Amino acid sequence: MAERVRDVVVVGGGVGGLAVAIRLRARGHRVTVFERNEVPGGKLAVLERDGFTFDVGPSLVTLPRVYDELFRTVGTSLADEVDLVRLDPQFRYWWRSGRHVEVRDDGCDEPGYREFVAHGRTIWDVSERTFFAGPMSGPWSLAKRLRRMRDLTDIDPLRTLHASARDVFGDDAEMVQWAGRYATYSGSSPFRAPATLGCIAHLEHHEGCWYPMGGLGALRDAFVRVAERAGVRIVCGAEVRSITATPGVGSTRQVNGVVLADNTVIAADAVVANADATHLYRDLLPDRRALARVQRADASTSGFVVCAGVRGTTPGIAHHDIWFSDDSRHEFDQIAEGRFPDDPTIYACVSSVTDSSQAPAGHENWFLLVNVAAGAELDRAAATAQVLERLASHGVDLRDRLLFTETITPSDLEARYRSPGGAIYGTSSDGRRAAFVRPRNRGSHDGLFLVGGSSHPGGGLPLVTMSARIVDEMIEHGWR
Ligand SMILES: Cc1cc2nc3c(=O)[nH]c(=O)nc-3n(C[C@H](O)[C@H](O)[C@H](O)COP(=O)(O)OP(=O)(O)OC[C@H]3O[C@@H](n4cnc5c(N)ncnc54)[C@H](O)[C@@H]3O)c2cc1C
């Protein structure tokens, strides 16, 4: 336990905010989370309509041990809180060529698959004890955690993911495309993100793809329940308008509280911002230099989502399916230009395949996601029609079976979560510098910390939960 019990305010009740609140509470601090929306969870969100439930944020759970380790800090476990199912098959992948690859819980037999996954394991083993082990304030932070020179080459940071996939799969362009899709797990492009991201293939292969029965909302509810049971105060519908600090210069300035939108002043010894780093330094605690540094990091991609209540059931689909575009490079070029791809890769999660509580009997809950650039301006109706038409061109025509559709655009995501441009994962992993220019977990003032997708180590549920561990340790080992 820290020497003195402190008052900590967490700005934002996303998964990163809730996770850090749980950890700090476990150490005995008094922790209050202020969340501007009426429900906590941030991007981990649910839409219910006419007996259908859609996970409108994350739909795939990986690395459950990260949440288990978090819950254990307050005396419970993931298994005690959530009924997690290990999916098998994990995914079905489809191409217009007629090829289809099923990746089961024990993998698949495509030539090169096992080699790619084995390389991913090497990357992960080194990354876990270096990149993910603590804060990152530049290449030096990584360098000092390396045990041997080989660690650096093992994490494969210099090649792109696409290049490493081509080295393994050669002329099999479809499997190259399959491997490249792991870049999108951090909102990046396989043509720009480092080969390091290939470790996700290993994580899925060895640690599984999981689904919480009842939907991702069950995981969100578990985070909230565990936090509140431990004594965290979560206040929803409470927007933080500013973070206050003592006067001074440089890092001698110390945050001392927050002001809510209704002018309530809350004193705090430390403030952890789960809000996006741009919102933090532009609006909450304006700091031109810190903002300029934040803006060196590229935003991750955003997404266009179609939730469709569908009559009947679809033969051949799994819980997770992906229908690939014909030309991956053209697709990512169009995304980079801010355009809606004319032939998008379509990800679908139909959780009613596993969990009958998610749709009325004899129906399906289709969550369809297409990658688009952060800030892309879309015509909702045109984009919906295009997604459904492109899916039909793969032989899956939902159009005659639709009961309703609901859509989410990048501007909806921005408005809901204050994430600039509606970026799904905060910052992207595009380019060799990405890991080092991502905003730091230690803020511009004493007592200010950043947790969540826009800061180190990046977005995705397991990573934001890891960022909470890093911030907790920074706070525990020195309040600077
Ligand atoms: C469509 C979609 C699909 C995804 N798929 C997956 C997936 O399958 N697997 C996966 O692991 N991840 C996935 N992700 C990413 C994952 O959801 C995010 O990385 C993660 O949930 C982000 O958590 P966070 O802690 O960074 O905060 P966020 O979820 O961004 O939460 C930040 C919170 O801060 C609040 N806030 C902001 N400003 C203020 C303020 N001034 N005052 C008070 N509150 C404020 C916001 O309202 C928000 O609730 C997906 C995301 C989306 C949108």
How remote is the CA of residue 419 from the centroid of ligand 1, in Å?
8
Residue the block writes with tokens 């759970």: 61
Residue 444 CA to ligand 1 center (angstroms) comes to 22
Enumerate domains of the chain plus CATH numbers.
Answer: 7-36+237-297+431-476 (3.50.50.60), 45-60+82-105+301-424 (3.90.660.20), 108-207 (no CATH)
pLDDT class for 251, splitting at 50, 70, 90? Answer: low
> Which protein residue has the closest C-alpha to ligand 1 atom 48?
42
In angstroms, the CA 227 to CA 22 distance is 5
Alpha carbon distance 65, 79 (integer Å): 10
Contact residues for 335 (Cβ-Cβ < 8 A; gap 6+): 189, 301, 341, 371, 372, 373
Q: What is the pLDDT of residue 142?
A: 83
Measured between alpha carbons, how far is 56 from 328 in angstroms, rounded to an integer?
25
| pTM score of the predicted model | 0.97
CB 211 within 8 A of CB 354: yes
Q: What is the mean pLDDT of residues 178-201?
A: 97
Q: How far is CA 476 from CA 76, 338, 355, 362, 441, in A?
A: 22, 42, 41, 52, 14
Tokens representing 193?
A: 């993100």
Q: Whose CA is nearest to atom 6 of ligand 1?
A: 58
Lowest-confidence pick of 76-85, 130-139, 187-196, 199-208: 130-139
3-state helix, strand, coil in the chain (%, to 5): 40, 20, 40
Kindly give the number of the ligand 1 atom that is closest to the alpha carbon of 453: 26
Confidence of residue 477 (pLDDT cuts 50, 70, 90): confident
Lowest mean pLDDT among 123-137, 180-194, 385-399: 123-137
Read off the pLDDT of residues 22-64 as tens digits, 9 standing for 90 and up: 999 999 999 999 999 999 999 999 999 999 999 999 999 999 9
Query: For 343-365, what is each residue's pLDDT tens digit?
Result: 999 999 999 999 999 999 999 99
Could you tell me which of 264, 279, 266 has the C-alpha nearest to residue 426? 279
Percent of the chain at pLDDT above 90? 89
Burial class (CB in 10 A: 0-12, 13-18, 19+), 356: exposed
pLDDT confidence of residue 76: 98
Residue 479 has pLDDT above 80, yes or no: no
* Atom nearest to 454 CA in ligand 1: 26
Buried b / exposed e over 291-314, threshold 16 CB at 10 Å, is: bebbbebbbbbbbbbbbbbbeeeb
Tell me the CA–centroid distance for residue 148 and ligand 1, in Å.
36
The one-character DSSP state at 107 is: B
Residue of 60, 90, 65, 89 whose CA lies nearest to 79: 65
pLDDT digits (tens, 9 = 90+) for 136-165: 887 888 888 888 889 889 999 999 999 999
Measure 112 CA to ligand 1 centroid, in angstroms: 34
Cα separation, 101 vs 116, in Å, equals 15
Rounded-to-integer distance, Cα 221 and Cα 81, Å = 9
The closest residue, in CA terms, to atom 49 on ligand 1 is: 42
Helices 173-180 and 161-169: crossing angle in degrees, nearest 10, is 140
Residue nearest to ligand 1 atom 27, measured at CA = 14
Buried b (16+ CB within 10 A) or exposed e, 326-346: eebeebbebbeeeebbebbbb
Lining ligand 1 with CB less than 6 A are: 11-17, 34-37, 42-44, 57-60, 239-240, 274-275, 279, 284, 303, 305, 369, 413, 417-419, 424-426, 452-453, 459-461, 464
Q: How far is the CA of 188 from the centre of ligand 1 (A)?
A: 17
